[in-house]
Structure 1
Amino acid sequence: MSSPHVLVIPYPVQGHVIPLMSLSQKLVKHGIKVTFVNTDACHKRVVSAISDQDGLVGPNINLVSIPDGLEHEDDRNKLGKLCSVMLETMPTKLEKLIEDISTVDVDNRITCVLADGCMGWTLEVAQKLGIKGALLWPASVTVFAVISNIPKMIDEGILDNNGYSKGRQTFQLSPTMPEIDTVVIPWSSMGDTTSQNLVFEYFIRIIQTQNLAEWTICNTVYEFEPEALALCTRVLPVGPLMETCQDRTSRGQFWEDDYSCLDWLDQQPTKSVIYVAFGSLAVLNQIQFQELALGLELTGQPFLWVVRADDDSGTNTKYPYPDEFQGTRGKIIGWAPQQKILSHPAIACFISHCGWNSTLEGLSNGVPFLCWPYFADQFINKTYICDEWKVGLGFDFNDERIITRTEIKKKVDQLLSNEETRARSLKLKEIARNNMVEGGQSYENLNNFINWLMQQRVCT
């Protein structure tokens, strides 16, 4: 009897690849083989970001790829078009990949397809081939609940058949959950109307495949979202899916981490550094970029600022830093080993886009937030950070929709002087860490899932 062999497939953006890779690295520690399927474009970026080609992403994880259907020159940040084209192209490519794996070595054939919840259609391919399937929802279970309840929201008149609100309003999925404004539902900030429609249609498609999963696990913690988990009874929390290895094994990053920042942090006072990072997709315009630079300087605090590398120019930004910006108190890097940064004692707070990975990493390290959401689920995450957990503050825009340098300084001062926020952050850190160790709810749920995977062996 051979080892179980799991095919893992994330949605093709950085924030989805990371938790699926973290989970894969946990699976291989239990003797499970993993074939990790990126799109060709993502695969190229992951491999190019790995400095140690011998180490790659860990033992027993085989990196492979299939086309997403877009041309080389297409903009893959246009998620509506990406969603539409993937459905036209990837199912047949995935089916062929799985069949080819079995043809090469029948004892090595795939025993389970573990799909990103945003790639639920892949379970239709698995079902066709007689393979069992499971889902990992990589965002908050609250967002899972919102998407899963689209048909109900249409029936109740909150949304029309195209996913648009019938007038701006707030709604609750259950009496104990926070109110959600219809302007921040995930597909409403996905670009123009055409993109929003395509993403909404894609969500409808993945809703239809949820029941094909024998397991649905989620990268969350029970205590963080108990009401949403009570609503989604089939979903089991297994988070936070965090980096556990102390070496520099890749977590599926699209850019190479700059570890020089850790030495720089070692030289800074405890709880003094403002960490600024907006993930892989957020974009600031020139005015906002320059206001942020001047705002960081105005705080008088040391800062570590991730300015994502521009793929075309090779420079850190397409905008010039303002003339008044000295930057002597700070360090600017192109991409960061974020979990290691957030666990560093020098970090005082986190100016974040509130992506779910960043949210969990901040919570798991007891770091207070200054929230700057950009799109999709990030606005709902901000609601939890600021209003439910009360471990952060949001920025206010001026009349020109700019967060000014004075607003940045004001909120930094307000957050860093609030000991109650720091205390709540440390409490949530304890909760997250307790879930990750033996006896914790997430640990036990994940262990049960792994035990189930171990039973899906190929009999020879």
Structure 2
Amino acid sequence: MENQQETLVSRNRRIILFPFPFQGHINPMLQLANLLYSKGFSITILHTNFNTPKISNYPHFTFISILDNDPEDERFSKSSLINFAPNFIFKQDGADVLRKELELLLALEKDELVSCLITDAFWHFTQSVADSLNLPRLVLRTSSLYSTIIFSSIPLLDDRGYFTLDDSHLEEQVSEFPLLKVKDILKIGIKSDKDPYAELLSEMIKQTKASSGIIWNSFKELEETELERVQHDFPVQSFLIPFPKYLTSSSSSLLDQDQTVIHWLDQQSTESVLYVSFGSISQVDEKEFLEIAHGLVNSKQPFLWVVRPGFVKGSTWLESLPDEFLGEKGRVVKWAPQQEVLAHEATGAFWTHSGWNSTLESVCESVAMICSPFRGDQSLDARYMSDVLRVGVYLENGFERGEISSAIKRVMVDEEGKEIRERVRVLKQKADVSLMKGGSSNESMESLVDYISSLQVSVLEF
């Protein structure tokens, strides 16, 4: 990162942050927390005991567990969190618990002014709590600007009947968003605007618009065509900051990372290895798993494959693989230090589930992508990377060994791959420039610090 004059505030202002308890949400929140700490703010992290952050890695923060502290309270049970049920957002129950915790914090912080609350966008009930305490709330949006625009349009898409179309329409374009195909919309996982996930997204959008500002894990030059629409639809302050360009997410990993993969990569040729990882919660069945395996072997390219325990439904780890599978070209690990792998000169491409953190990390390290989305915003990210920015190949039809090996060769061997790598290299350069003095991300970071410092909090008597 370019050396530059840092804007610092005196450490008498505290920020309270509340991440959503999944890896893809915890990583950017703790990256943001570290950035704000480096600017002089004191940091308090609220967290659930489900997927507790690795507190020992952050001795400079204050951590407070909230919501699921009582194991007998089924409202905040682990199953509610995992199943993404309506109770996941806890509604009024969660609001009452959070309000009591914040009242206590505000009463205790006599020597430090609490500037604001920053929550993940999914914690939509926190807006009403913040309003009741006269506490400004900023939102961290951990997905792309483009996917947020689409999520805002779910009532329109439902009204037009897209969520109920059958398989005969999968390849048709979505007339309201010509970039997308019907199958991209269906992969979001919504049946109508009345199902729990749709209601969650609706409340998330509504309360994000009611917030004091939005922090995006992105940079202007990456999604410039979407920025004007977002600023129109969300008439609050927006700050675009690509966290992977400032900090790695290694310290916030919930799983133990296999650091020996770096030594293995050191022994491989430049841009020769395909890195494969489908994130922290995606799952496949045994048939899909074997198709992936055969596709990797048939491509005849070296690969580093992250197979998280539980990735294969009904299996502990690698029971389905033939003993002779790996050979000399492949290595399988349970978890890897992803940003370090992507930054390694031996990594030539990234086969990803197209979660936004992974997508942005790939762009920031100039690594071409093969995209295999599973759910939610991932299909939207995959389409944007493949068809708008053209820095990846989209495996649109699931896992079939022939299509897999063909896609790998397109990116790793063919002339098309060279063109893709050049385009992603240009994006990385734009990200690098954005961090320099006067660059879009640098100015956004400084504006965020100034904005938080200017927020006026009315102190209530408790």
| TM-score (normalizing by structure 2) | 0.85
Asked if 1:17 is matched to 2:26, the reply is yes
Q: 1:411-422 to 2 correspondence within 5 Å? A: 411-416=407-412, 417=414, 418=416, 419-422=418-421
Asked if 1:76 is matched to 2:74, the reply is no
Which residue is equivalent to 1:33?
42
What CA distance in whole angstroms lies between the structure 2 residues aligned with 1:128 and 1:319?
53
Paired residue type of 2:137:
G
What CA distance in whole angstroms lies between the structure 2 residues aligned with 1:57 and 1:194?
41
Structure 1 pair 178/108, CA: closer, same or farther in 2 (3 Å)?
farther
Question: Structure 1: 5+ residue runs without aligned partners?
Answer: none
The alpha carbon displacement at 1:350 in A equals: 0.4
The alpha carbon displacement at 1:140 in A equals: 0.5
Which residue is equivalent to 2:221?
223
The alpha carbon displacement at 1:100 in A equals: 1.7
Contact 1:4 1:455 (C-alpha < 8 Å) held by counterparts: no
Q: Secondary structure at the match of 2:85?
A: helix
The alpha carbon displacement at 1:200 in A equals: 0.7
The alpha carbon displacement at 1:122 in A equals: 0.9
Contact 1:262 1:341 (C-alpha < 8 Å) held by counterparts: yes
Contact 2:283 2:310 (C-alpha < 8 Å) held by counterparts: no
Which residue is equivalent to 2:243?
241
Which residue is equivalent to 2:151?
147
What CA distance in whole angstroms lies between the structure 2 residues aligned with 1:253 and 1:131?
30
What CA distance in whole angstroms lies between the structure 2 residues aligned with 1:223 and 1:172?
26
Which residue is equivalent to 1:325?
325
Contact 2:76 2:88 (C-alpha < 8 Å) held by counterparts: no
Q: Deviations over 1:358-383 (max 9, x none)?
A: 11011111111111110000101111
What CA distance in whole angstroms lies between the structure 2 residues aligned with 1:172 and 1:227?
18
Which residue is equivalent to 1:404?
400
| Mean CA deviation greater in 101-110 or 276-285 | 101-110
Q: Secondary structure at the match of 1:332?
A: strand
The alpha carbon displacement at 1:323 in A equals: 4.2
In structure 1, which of residues 197, 200, 216 is the aligned counterpart of residue 198 of structure 2? 200
What CA distance in whole angstroms lies between the structure 2 residues aligned with 1:266 and 1:184?
38
Q: Deviations over 1:171-200 (max 9, x none)?
A: 466xxx65334543488426xx69981111
Q: How many pairs are equivalent?
A: 433
The alpha carbon displacement at 1:81 in A equals: 4.2
Paired residue type of 2:388:
E
| TM-score (normalizing by structure 1) | 0.85
The alpha carbon displacement at 1:237 in A equals: 4.5
The alpha carbon displacement at 1:131 in A equals: 0.6
| Mean CA deviation greater in 219-228 or 370-379 | 219-228
Q: 1:349-360 to 2 correspondence within 5 Å? A: 349-360=349-360
Q: Deviations over 1:201-244 (max 9, x none)?
A: 11222232223322122112222222221111146342321163
Which residue is equivalent to 2:189?
189
What CA distance in whole angstroms lies between the structure 1 residues aligned with 2:183 and 2:334?
32
Paired residue type of 1:241:
F
Q: Identity over aligned residues, as a percent?
A: 26
Contact 1:2 1:457 (C-alpha < 8 Å) held by counterparts: no
What CA distance in whole angstroms lies between the structure 2 residues aligned with 1:249 and 1:274?
20
Paired residue type of 1:218:
W
Q: Secondary structure at the match of 2:81?
A: coil
Q: Deviations over 1:406-460 (max 9, x none)?
A: 3222111111223111111111111122223332112211210111212347799
Q: Secondary structure at the match of 1:393?
A: strand
Structure 1 pair 31/312, CA: closer, same or farther in 2 (3 Å)?
farther
Question: Structure 2: 5+ residue runs without aligned partners?
Answer: 1-9, 69-73
What CA distance in whole angstroms lies between the structure 2 residues aligned with 1:316 and 1:202?
32
What CA distance in whole angstroms lies between the structure 1 residues aligned with 2:306 and 2:454?
43
The alpha carbon displacement at 1:152 in A equals: 5.2
Contact 2:391 2:423 (C-alpha < 8 Å) held by counterparts: yes
Which residue is equivalent to 1:256?
256
Structure 1 pair 249/362, CA: closer, same or farther in 2 (3 Å)?
closer
Contact 2:119 2:139 (C-alpha < 8 Å) held by counterparts: yes
Which residue is equivalent to 2:337?
337
| Mean CA deviation greater in 75-84 or 302-311 | 75-84
Which residue is equivalent to 1:368?
368
Q: 1:377-396 to 2 correspondence within 5 Å? A: 377-395=377-395
| Mean CA deviation greater in 443-452 or 229-238 | 229-238
Asked if 1:102 is matched to 2:106, the reply is yes
What CA distance in whole angstroms lies between the structure 2 residues aligned with 1:330 and 1:232?
42
Structure 1 pair 351/58, CA: closer, same or farther in 2 (3 Å)?
farther
Structure 1 pair 444/264, CA: closer, same or farther in 2 (3 Å)?
same
Paired residue type of 2:375:
F
| Mean CA deviation greater in 425-434 or 195-204 | 195-204
The alpha carbon displacement at 1:128 in A equals: 0.4
What CA distance in whole angstroms lies between the structure 1 residues aligned with 2:209 and 2:228?
18
| Mean CA deviation greater in 267-276 or 141-150 | 141-150
What CA distance in whole angstroms lies between the structure 1 residues aligned with 2:47 and 2:205?
22
Structure 1 pair 114/396, CA: closer, same or farther in 2 (3 Å)?
closer
| Mean CA deviation greater in 22-31 or 327-336 | 327-336
Contact 2:215 2:238 (C-alpha < 8 Å) held by counterparts: yes
Q: CA RMSD in A?
A: 3.0
Q: Secondary structure at the match of 2:305?
A: strand
What CA distance in whole angstroms lies between the structure 2 residues aligned with 1:337 and 1:279?
12
Structure 1 pair 285/101, CA: closer, same or farther in 2 (3 Å)?
same
